[in-house]
Amino acid sequence: MRKKLLLTILLLCGCSIAFSQYNSDSWVWPDENQNDALSFHLEVGPKLGAGMCIATKTNLFDTKFKNGFSYQAGLSVKMGLRHQLSKTPKGIERLGLGFEALLSGRNIRTGKENLSMLCLDIPILLHFLITSNFSLEAGVTFVQPLKVNPTVLQMQNIVLNTGDLKPADVMLSVGANYQIIAGLELGLRCNIGTCPIAGNLGTRLNTIMLSADYLFPLLK
């Protein structure tokens, strides 16, 4: 009887030790006896970009818009949760959220002169971390026009009052980012326009942008 009781106690002690060892290796929430931690991080910094503005074709009025260039400059904000493990000192982050406020220019060639638009872009994007340096992004970009030049645009035998243009848009945005060094990140993004630049013109604007941003950590 005593031997059975002793074996039972030893068995329970062994199971307890094994469970505690397993638990310490697989525990994903912060524990005061470990170095593991769950932290919220916030990064803010400037963003610059340049690329191509692509005008979709339209047969209305025989307008022949040609692709031009696009640029942007502004502020980028990224936030997310980082799970810091004792075995992974760089931390693990799977999902983040990004906001940007960008002053952007879109230029379309029309033959004799170019149509130039100055806009405010507000991208809202989800970031999916693939590796510690490489991530994918997807979301929407809200576009609000600020200024259109020239005020009158002549294309062949057509005279168009650009004040009638309403290039406000909600663009579908997808892209990828690669962090070269801590803080410095290069990105490639494709923005697909969903709204025509005017009610009587079927032309939509798409952009492909190469960008660089330098983010400073505010919260780690």
- How confident is the prediction for the chain on average, in pLDDT? 76
Between 3.40.50.970, 2.60.40.10, 2.40.160.20, 3.10.20.600, what CATH number should domain 35-219 receive? 2.40.160.20
Domain residue ranges of the chain, discontinuous segments joined by + = 35-219
Going by C-alpha positions, the residue among 10, 14, 7 that lies closest to residue 22 is: 14
The residue with tokens 């904000």 is 77
Can you give the pTM of this predicted structure? 0.73
Among 13-22, 129-138, 145-154, the least confident range: 13-22
Of the pLDDT bands very low, low, confident and very high (cuts 50, 70, 90), residue 147 is confident
Is 134 a residue whose pLDDT tops 80?
A: yes
Closest CA to 117 of 47, 68, 174: 68
The predicted structure's pLDDT at residue 27: 35
Structure tokens that stand for 34 in this block: 């470990």
Mean pLDDT of 151-173: 73
pLDDT digits (tens, 9 = 90+) for 84-128: 554 444 455 678 899 999 999 998 877 667 888 899 999 999 998
Instruction: Report the pLDDT value the prediction gives residue 120, as an integer from 0 to 100.
Output: 95
Question: Can you give the pLDDT at residue 31?
Answer: 44
The pLDDT value recorded for residue 5 is 44
Which among 205, 202, 206, 204 is positioned nearest to 190, based on CA atoms? 206
Task: Enter the tokens of residue 161.
Answer: 């009052």
Using CA atoms in the order 141, 142, 146, 149, what is the torsion angle rounded to 10 degrees? 60
